[in-house]
Structure 1
Amino acid sequence: MDSIIFDLDGTLWDPIDTLLKAWNSRIKENELIKAELTRTDLEGTMGLQMDDMSKKLFPYLNEEVRLQVIKDCFQTEEEFLLKQGGNLYPHVEGVLQSLSKYYKLYIVSNCQDGYIETFYEFHQLEKYFLDFENPGRTGLSKGENIDLIMKRNHLSNPVYVGDTEGDFNAARFAGIPFIYARYGFGQVSDYDDAIEKFDELIDLFC
């Protein structure tokens, strides 16, 4: 194994409390929105791309309106995240510091362009990662973005760490092992290994 590629939401941090404040502050301006969102609402969209997220949260809106609402919320959430950040899972920085001594580290997340950068900036973790990718920047699926990271960085034997069925499918698409973060937001049908908390990666890989 030469590298570890991480999902972001539900794997490295839990941003939902901040996202909830941001999204609800924005949607209350739209008279077509029937109710404020809950934490459960957002948890159910983790790992989805923008179009699928909009359909799940606002199925009663037409496509054009749905996508505009999501874009507006994405813009607002970056502003909130830059000021408030998200909740890092316990020991994330220490574990990343240890892992980075032995492996090349990367992030591939189903997020908009600029989102990973806010994670880096607020928590000052960019120094541990060599590259990242997302569909907001490439227009590709998560599996295709993992494959892109592998090719761009000449990785021969990476693993992917994530918390949703979409993460599992993406890893399988890219032909690499999947490590399931059980503490995250999703349930998966299969995995190659699993962790109950982030610092178990030390025992697994070091």
Structure 2
Amino acid sequence: MDSIIFDLDGTLWDSREAIAISWNQVFEGLEEGSFSITKEDLTAMMGLQIDEIGEKLLPQLPAAKRKELLDQCSQVENEYLVENGGILYPEVENVLASLAERYKLFIVSNCQEGYIEAFLKYYGLQKYIQDFENPGRTGLLKGENIKLVMDRNNLAAPVYVGDTEKDREAAELAEIPFVYAEYGFGKVQNADYTIKSFSDLTNLFQRKT
């Protein structure tokens, strides 16, 4: 194993409340009627691409209007996260610092462009993450983005760490092992490895060296 690729939501942090706050700022006073979302509404959406989220949350709107609204939500969300952050899971920075001494670290998340950057900037974690990718920049599925990161960084033996079945499927598409973050938002069967907290990665990857 030479590298670790991380999912973001449900793996490194929980941004649901911050997203709900920022999106509700956009939803207030819309001509089409007043909408609002809660942290609980977002739970089942975490890990989906933005257009999939829009179809589930705002099915009553025409596709063009939904895209326009979600683009605005994404921009406001990124700005809010840069200033306010989300909830970083315990020991994330300490574990990343330890792992970065032995492995190359990356992030691949189903998010808009600017979202991963907001996460890294708020917590000052840029020094640990060598590269990242998302469909907002490439238009690709998560598994394809994992392969893209693997190819451009010449990774020979990475693993992917995530918290949903879609994350497991993405790792399978990329033909790499999957580590299930059980503390996150999803339920996964048949993961290669399972962790109950982020700090479990330290012992898991020590065993794999």
Q: Is TM (by shorter chain) over 0.5?
A: yes
Give the secondary structure class of the aligned counterpart of 2:106: strand
| Whole-angstrom distance in 2 between the partners of 1:83 and 1:158 | 32
Deviation at 1:187, TM superposition (A): 1.5
Deviation at 1:164, TM superposition (A): 1.0
* Counterpart residue type for residue 203 of structure 2: D
Cα distance per residue 1:9-49 (max 9 Å; x no partner): 11001111111110111111313245310111111111111
Deviation at 1:188, TM superposition (A): 1.9
With 161-170 and 27-36 compared, the bigger mean Cα shift is at 27-36
Q: Give 1:54's aligned residue.
A: 54
Residue ranges of structure 2 left out of the alignment (5+ in a row): none
In structure 2, the CA distance between the partners of 1:159 and 1:33, relative to structure 1 (3 Å rule), is farther
| Whole-angstrom distance in 1 between the partners of 2:173 and 2:112 | 21
Q: Give 1:169's aligned residue.
A: 169
* Counterpart residue type for residue 183 of structure 2: Y
| Whole-angstrom distance in 2 between the partners of 1:115 and 1:44 | 19
Cα distance per residue 1:129-158 (max 9 Å; x no partner): 111011111111100000000010110110
| Whole-angstrom distance in 1 between the partners of 2:21 and 2:149 | 32
**Equivalent runs, 1:184-195 vs 2, <5 Å:** 184-195=184-195
Structure 1 residue runs of 4+, over 4 Å off? none
| Whole-angstrom distance in 2 between the partners of 1:34 and 1:181 | 36
Query: Does the 8 A contact of 2:28 with 2:34 survive in 1?
Result: no
In structure 2, the CA distance between the partners of 1:33 and 1:125, relative to structure 1 (3 Å rule), is farther
* Counterpart residue type for residue 155 of structure 1: L
* Counterpart residue type for residue 12 of structure 2: L
Query: Aligned pair count?
Result: 206
RMSD: 1.0
**Equivalent runs, 1:72-87 vs 2, <5 Å:** 72-87=72-87
TM-score after normalising by structure 1: 0.97
Q: Give 2:196's aligned residue.
A: 196
Q: Give 1:31's aligned residue.
A: 31
Q: Give 1:63's aligned residue.
A: 63
| Whole-angstrom distance in 1 between the partners of 2:162 and 2:40 | 19
| Whole-angstrom distance in 2 between the partners of 1:162 and 1:180 | 6
- Quote the sequence identity (%): 54
Q: Give 2:16's aligned residue.
A: 16
Residue ranges of structure 1 left out of the alignment (5+ in a row): none
In structure 2, the CA distance between the partners of 1:175 and 1:33, relative to structure 1 (3 Å rule), is farther
Q: Give 1:139's aligned residue.
A: 139
* Counterpart residue type for residue 16 of structure 2: I
* Counterpart residue type for residue 13 of structure 2: W
With 133-142 and 23-32 compared, the bigger mean Cα shift is at 23-32
Q: Give 1:149's aligned residue.
A: 149
With 54-63 and 144-153 compared, the bigger mean Cα shift is at 54-63
